[in-house]
Homo-oligomer: A and B are copies of this chain.
Amino acid sequence: MAHEKYGTCIAACNDCAMACSHCAAACLHEDDVKMMAACIALDMDCAAICQLAAAAMARDSANAPAICRLCAEICTACGTECAKHSHEHCQACAAACKQCAQACREMAA
């Protein structure tokens, strides 16, 4: 079953989507929100593709590997940006992005 087959990657995508959604909203409350603009924009992309990837894997979609390949790319871009900022939500998001990128690359291989 898709659930079990892709279990690790589905969990990583859901975790990353939540971390990105949280980071986007938390960045909006920071004093230096202007500096966080790129982070917020990438968080939005990353949250969206992670949720789409998780759902596609749960449906055992034939397109899941291609979707996960793109998801890995976007996670890497988002995680690289998040890692530049010391806010706890940015660091947590960077870690979730890194883990999700790795899980997606392995899934798509």
Interface residues, chain A, with chain B CB atoms under 8 Å away: 1-3, 10, 14, 17-19, 21-22, 24-26, 28-29, 31, 33-34, 37, 40-42, 44-45, 47-49, 51-52, 54-56, 58-63, 66-67, 70, 73-74, 77, 89
Contact of A2 among B25, B47, B48 (CB under 8 A): B25
CB nearest neighbor in B for A48: B52
Complex: A1 Cα to B27 Cα, angstroms: 12
Given A17-B58, A25-B44, 9 more A-B residue pairs with CB atoms under 8 Å apart are A2-B26, A18-B54, A22-B60, A28-B40, A34-B34, A40-B40, A44-B59, A51-B55, A63-B74
Contact (Cβ within 8 A) B49 A51: no
Contact (Cβ within 8 A) A44 B24: yes
Contacts A18-B58, A22-B2 given: A67-B47 contact, CB under 8 Å? no
